[in-house]
Chain A
Amino acid sequence: MSKDYQMKAAINQKMIEMGERERLKELLRAKLVESGWKDQLKAHCKDVIREKGLEHVTVEDLVTEVTPKGRALVPDSVKKELLQRIRAFLAQHAALGFWLTPIHSPGFSKSTFSGLKCAAAEERSR
């Protein structure tokens, strides 16, 4: 359980709790449609299905085939924007009390917590 991993877990959980994760998902969805990413991937999926045959293809096949291309095709601007939003979320919730609510994840320790605090404070001062 690395510290980074724990921090990731804590941030993720707080984001779910506050509904921020849903909002980010919707933002991402809209951006990806707008930029044409969805259409590109849809075309690729169709190719994969044609290749494997409609009767035999499984969702796993598609996921394995399409994921690397999907990740590569995301435009940088979209990545930047989402990153900005996550950073803003951190900066917004730099308060002590916010992160103190218990998070049930194995190995969540005080050191992780202080790491989080530092990251949040850093974001705020940026």
Chain B
Amino acid sequence: MSPAGCPHVGGWKADGWRQNLRLIYRCFVWTGSAETRTRKARSCVCHVCGAHLSRLHSCLSCVFFACFAKKHIHEHAGTKRHHLAVDLLYGGVYCFLCQDYVYDKEMEQISKEEQKKAWKMRGVGEKFSSWEPSRREVELLRHNPKRRRITTNCTIGLRGLINLGNTCFMNCIVQALTHTPLLRDFFLSDRHQCEMASSSCLVCEMSQLFQEFYSGRRSPHVPFRLLHLVWTHARHLAGYEQQDAHEFLIAALDVLHRHCRDDDGKRTSNHCTCIIDRIFTGGLQSDVTCQVCHGVSTTIDPFWDISLDLPGSSTPFWSLSPGGEASVLNGEGHGGGATTLTDCLRRFTRPEHLGSGAKIKCSGCHSYQESTKQLTMKKLPVVACFHLKRFEHSARLRRKISTYVSFPLELDMTPFMASSKETRDERPAERRRRQQVTPRFIQNRCIRTGSSEPDQTLALSSFSSFRESEINFLNLTFLITNETIDSDDPFLHGAASSSRYSLFAVVNHQGTLESGHYTTFIRQHKDQWFKCDDAVITKAGLKEVLDSEGTPERSTPAFLCRTVNKEFYLSVFDPPPPRVTSFTPEEELRSSDVEAELAVGVAVRHKDERQQEALCS
């Protein structure tokens, strides 16, 4: 069972064996193109009994397929003295003389390459493969024998930040960013290749910062270099005055996005593939409906955060009674019961009448008409940042709105998506018409045989039955084939898991508009929360986190991370959905109690999925 294979493999390796083997792998094992798939479907049956599902193997010396389970391939091997066969499902090579699967390094290499190629051809990104250390890495590991292990109670990744003079606004955002799972994985895997000549790359500095945070050192870090870089690149934030954390977040993301641009190699004009965009960018759909001809004009704008108005602001906040009819509430808090984040979101996505003072030129009516505007989510970001607009700067007054807003730990964004809106608002006739326009997805999947017409109608009518029955199945497929979630896809309706979010960081503001202080709550290890107050980190209970968002003095941005499946993770990086358990009472961290350990190289590369779950928070 050694990687050198068995002695019989050596005997088999005649001239041109590599070509033949590659051909076998490409055509019968790892089928990528439609042609090879068809061929596999037609010809891969047992030549003895016609079975197709009983661990078919292909002889490596002649064209012969036979089942393993019923020993037909064994008979062939015996009679023809062809001692090697390859498993058509998994590509393993079996030696009949050794009576076991053998692993020859060169053959394994060929198999892996063909598998990768097939995956690429299917357009589903790259296949996940476990990390294998290169020679250099093995050397490094040998030279550095000290290992760190992550236990459930370890506090690696938590580090205080010294306040350099009203820099709590920066500290809190930095805490949130260093605990954003995808971002952390990206930086800890050294994914950033810097192309900036000078040393003023903010992404490099972030990379350094992550190294500092995950080094295991417990003393607070002094982020002076980061501060300096931020001042250099975002002049409006420079100075020692109090700044707005949300503004800092947007400015930081912007600078990171600009400096990151070169990381991926591919760069199209309107679609950036930098890590910031892949994680934070969502698409906001704005539909303006003309009140006269009901024509809809749609635009989609990218966004990094969602800024929500609160009850108690001077803009009218409509109460959200079940009927959907609105009654304007001005300046007061919500009538009965606390406002929730979903209330704010519902308000954000409600149709808004633009009024006679803001008539839009309608392309249908060719004149200025009154219209309604509605915002919905077209594309969900992987990490959603919600910003509650507590600081009001209007002509009349500048104040902080202290209305209590309650936050859920898990949030489902499905009702706020553009696709949900379509089914909600449309009349049945329009719905049917719209359905006939959208079977793009089915078109991609169906292979049209000769007469396409009957196929199409059948496909469409079965398609409408899907909508009702909420089938989740295509969630995974869709996420594999497209990196971005397009809410036009009707199947996403039932795919609730892709629009579910879990809370992982909350930034709070205490005090007034003029002077105040920012603190952050961070989630670690799925269910442990810590409060980060500049240089002081304390363990916090879940209740404290959820209440804090609500108390009058607090809150501003909250960070939620989307729960996704493994394949999507690999195209962006994201751990499996967390399961929230009970909370623990507060206790202050002692300096040397817990020895945080980190297996070198493990956190740094993608590893086995399950271990990843244990490592990530």
Chain A contacts to B: CB under 8 angstroms: 1, 8-9, 12-14, 16-19, 22-23, 26-27, 30, 33-34, 36, 38-39, 58-60, 81, 84-85, 88, 91-98, 100-101, 103-107, 124
Contacts and interface: CB of A to CB of B under 8 A. Distances in A.
A91 to B, nearest CB: 5
B482 interface: no
B387 to A, nearest CB: 32
Contact of B610 (A38, A85, A91): A38
Interface of B: 31, 34, 37-38, 40-45, 50, 52-53, 92, 99-101, 122, 124, 442, 445-447, 449-451, 454-455, 458-459, 462-463, 465-466, 471-473, 476-477, 480, 565-567, 576, 609-610
A106 B442 contact: no
Contact of A39 (B45, B101, B610): B610
17 contacts: A9-B45, A9-B52, A12-B53, A16-B37, A17-B447, A18-B37, A19-B34, A23-B476, A23-B477, A26-B476, A33-B610, A58-B99, A58-B100, A88-B473, A100-B449, A103-B42, A104-B42
Contacts, number: 108
A95 to B, nearest CB: 5
B80 to A, nearest CB: 21
Contacts of B459: 92, 95
B579 to A, nearest CB: 11
A82 B447 CA distance: 22
A112 to B, nearest CB: 13
B458 A95 contact: yes
Contacts of A36: 610
B449 A91 contact: no
Report whether over half of chain A's contact residues are helix, strand or loop; otherwise say mixed.
Answer: helix
B296 to A, nearest CB: 30
A84 B576 contact: no
Nearest to A9: B52
B41 A27 contact: no
A23 B450 CA distance: 25
B465 A19 contact: no
A34 B475 CA distance: 15
Most chain A beta-carbon neighbours within 10 Å: one of B122, B124, B449, B576: B449
A104 B477 contact: no
Given A13-B52, A59-B101, 7 more contacts: A9-B50, A12-B53, A16-B37, A39-B610, A95-B454, A95-B458, A104-B45
Contacts of A27: 473, 476-477
Contacts of A60: 99-100
Given A1-B50, A38-B610, A88 B466 contact: yes
B50 A105 contact: yes
B458 A13 contact: no
Nearest to B98: A58
B473 A96 contact: no
A26 B118 CA distance: 14
Contacts of B566: 30, 33-34
Contacts of B567: 26, 30
Contacts of B34: 17, 19
A58 B471 CA distance: 41
B94 to A, nearest CB: 8
A59 B455 contact: no
Contacts of B53: 8, 12
A26 B609 CA distance: 14
Contacts of B42: 13, 103-104
B610 A94 contact: no
Given A58-B99, A84-B471, A88-B466, A17 B38 contact: yes
B327 to A, nearest CB: 44
Given A91-B462, A105-B45, A84 B473 contact: yes
A106 B50 contact: yes
